Amino acid sequence: MQATPLLKPVAPAPLAIRLTGRMVDWVVITIGAVMATMVFVNVVLHLFHKDLAWVTEFGELLMVWVTFLGGACAAQRGAHMTITEFIDKLDPPKRRWADLGVQSACLAMLLVLVNYGVSLVNANWGNQLTVLEWPMAFQYMGMAVGCALMALFVAWDVWQIARGVPRQQRYPKSE
């Protein structure tokens, strides 16, 4: 019997993109494990009428990071929700141009979000999280970093579409 891989496979890509993708995957897994452990410990402490005040605030910070990094994980696998009722009816050349248009629009929006995220980070170095007393910029940084990583994976997809690589090769199905 063959073991099921822990992470869903991704299509061939340059080494830097593959390594970045794996790093993001493992960071998301680690953040999820840390969040689950923190919440479990705090719930157990509640049984003894105790509370770790920083858990809520740190959990919120991690939730922002895991949300945007999780988006990057999905982007590298083409796993974001899509409605393809009309685009699936197009013949292959038109489908390629439609895919290129959609992914290019997504890339443009992600670059806008990266720019906005960097602005939020720069504007919030002077503001502090209430309990942790860390710069609030660390929380906003999750958006900028996550969207930048999503943009990297979407840009790779745009490049592949422009080269004529079909979706089935760009995003292989796991067996």
Q: What's the average model confidence in pLDDT over 5-29?
A: 89
Which pLDDT value is given to residue 83? 82
User: Considering only 28-32, 39-43, 140-144, 167-171, which range has the smallest mean pLDDT?
Assistant: 167-171
Confidence of residue 4 (pLDDT cuts 50, 70, 90): low
Q: What percent of the chain has pLDDT over 70?
A: 97
The predicted structure's pLDDT at residue 169: 87
User: At residue 5, does pLDDT exceed 90?
Assistant: no
pLDDT at 2 over 90: no
Q: Token pair for residue 37?
A: 């452990």
Residue 80 — very low, low, confident or very high, per pLDDT cuts 50/70/90?
A: confident
175 pLDDT more than 60: no
SS (H, E, C) the chain: CCCCCCCCCCCCCCHHHHHHHHHHHHHHHHHHHHHHHHHHHHHHHHHCCCCCHHHHHHHHHHHHHHHHHHHHHHHHHCCCCCCCCCHHHCCHHHHHHHHHHHHHHHHHHHHHHHHHHHHHHHHCCCCECCCCCCECHHHHHHHHHHHHHHHHHHHHHHHHHHCCCCHHHHCCCCC
For the chain, give every domain's residue range: 15-167
Lowest-pLDDT choice from 2-11, 71-80, 122-131, 140-149: 2-11
Global confidence as pTM:
0.90
